């Protein structure tokens, strides 16, 4: 939590939303207080947003409702491959033969409702149906941990690593792992968690080379992370990429093709493709090195949709 929030009593819940997809210049910031905020509280929040210094805050009283329950009721379950992603509001509706994963509405990306996440779930399921086996798996930008949990179910003896640039996401992933019965730790069948910008963390580097890497983030960071991801995946290893628009796919594919990857499968769900790439073995294994940490995303935006 930012230290400046400690000056507010009670501390509000703050939500930031892009007003236009992939337009970093237009944002809407909403702060939820249990009672009407005074002028000082409004000015403090606005002081942390230099670009909004001349904006006129809009203060509105909301109906007395249980907004958490209402938001969860608004989240529809997602059935992708063998996985059924749901909240506690629809936990009794699990289709026969499916694998349920309970992901509540929270502060991190990745409830399964976005096409990028459901696309990754379907791609993981496809790999399992193809008979693929993975022993070392990394989920870069894990969000709520959903894709890590899916991989853990499919390959229960694998060593799994889940990272995110946002510490909140790692807290949420930890809670979701406990909720769904997935073990945390460093052993086989367990999930090791870490806060990291891209691949820049000792846990991620020391566990390389990986058999499978999942990165459901955005096109810009996927391109910037290409050299770092290429260093920590073995020859013949699989790479699932998502979070990009179909108009951005060729640029992303091109960045990885230059580093020895070939496109194995592309599945488009609406405007959102999910890519499965494989690293050509002839490029061999390069000893992993620390990533430079550069990313085109602002802090907190790494993570599953």
Which pair of structure tokens corresponds to residue 33? 């207080």
Confidence at residue 93, expressed as pLDDT on a 0 to 100 scale: 77
Domain ranges of the chain: 3-52, 110-283
- Tens digits of residue pLDDT in 203-220: 999 999 999 999 999 899
| Average pLDDT for 269-278 | 93
pLDDT value for 305: 46
- Mean pLDDT over 68-73 rounds to 51
CATH match of 110-283 with 3.90.226.10? no
The reply to whether the predicted model has a pTM over 0.75 is no
Alpha carbon distance 110, 147 (integer Å): 8
Taking the C-alpha atoms of residue 270 and residue 248, their distance in angstroms, rounded to an integer, is 14
- Mean pLDDT score, 8-17: 72
Tokens 């802090």, residue located:
299
pLDDT in the model for residue 23: 56
Q: What's the whole-number average pLDDT of the chain?
A: 83
Q: Which residue has the higher pLDDT, 4 or 231?
A: 231
CA–CA distances in Å: residue 74 to residues 67, 129, 147, 275: 10, 32, 22, 29
| Class of residue 50 by CB neighbours under 10 A (exposed 0-12, middle 13-18, buried 19+) | exposed
164 marked ligand binding residue: yes
Q: Is 271 one of the annotated binding-site residues?
A: no
pLDDT above 80: residue 80: yes
Does 198 score more than 60 pLDDT?
A: yes
Q: How many angstroms separate the CA atoms of 21 and 124, rounded?
A: 26
């Amino acid at each position: 939590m930012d230290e400046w929030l400690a000056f507010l009593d009670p501390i509000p819940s703050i939500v930031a939303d892009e007003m236009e997809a992939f337009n970093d210049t237009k944002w809407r910031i909403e702060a939820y207080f249990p009672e009407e905020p005074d002028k000082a509280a409004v000015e403090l929040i606005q002081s942390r947003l230099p670009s909004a210094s001349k904006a006129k805050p809009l203060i509105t009283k909301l109906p007395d409702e249980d907004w958490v329950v209402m938001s969860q009721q608004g989240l529809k379950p997602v059935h992708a491959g063998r996985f059924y992603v749901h909240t506690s509001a629809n936990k009794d509706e699990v289709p026969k033969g499916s694998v349920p994963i309970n992901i509540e509405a929270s502060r991190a990306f990745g409830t399964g409702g976005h096409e990028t996440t459901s696309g990754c779930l379907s791609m993981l399921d496809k790999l399992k149906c193809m008979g693929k086996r993975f022993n070392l798996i990394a989920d870069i930008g894990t969000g709520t941990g959903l894709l890590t949990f899916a991989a853990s179910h499919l390959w229960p003896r694998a060593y799994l690593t889940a990272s995110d640039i946002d510490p909140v996401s790692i807290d949420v992933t930890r809670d979701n792992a406990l909720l769904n019965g997935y073990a945390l730790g460093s052993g086989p069948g367990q999930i090791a968690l870490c806060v990291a910008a891209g691949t820049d963390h000792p846990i991620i580097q020391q566990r390389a080379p990986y058999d499978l890497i999942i990165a459901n983030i955005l096109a810009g960071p996927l391109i910037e992370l290409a050299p770092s991801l290429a260093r920590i995946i073995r020859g013949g290893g699989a790479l699932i990429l998502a979070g990009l628009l179909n108009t951005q796919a060729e640029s992303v594919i091109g960045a990885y093709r230059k580093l020895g990857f070939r496109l194995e499968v592309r599945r488009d769900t609406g405007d959102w493709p999910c890519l499965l790439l494989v690293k050509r073995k002839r490029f061999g294994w390069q000893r992993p090195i620390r990533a430079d940490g550069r990313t085109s995303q602002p802090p907190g935006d790494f993570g599953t949709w």
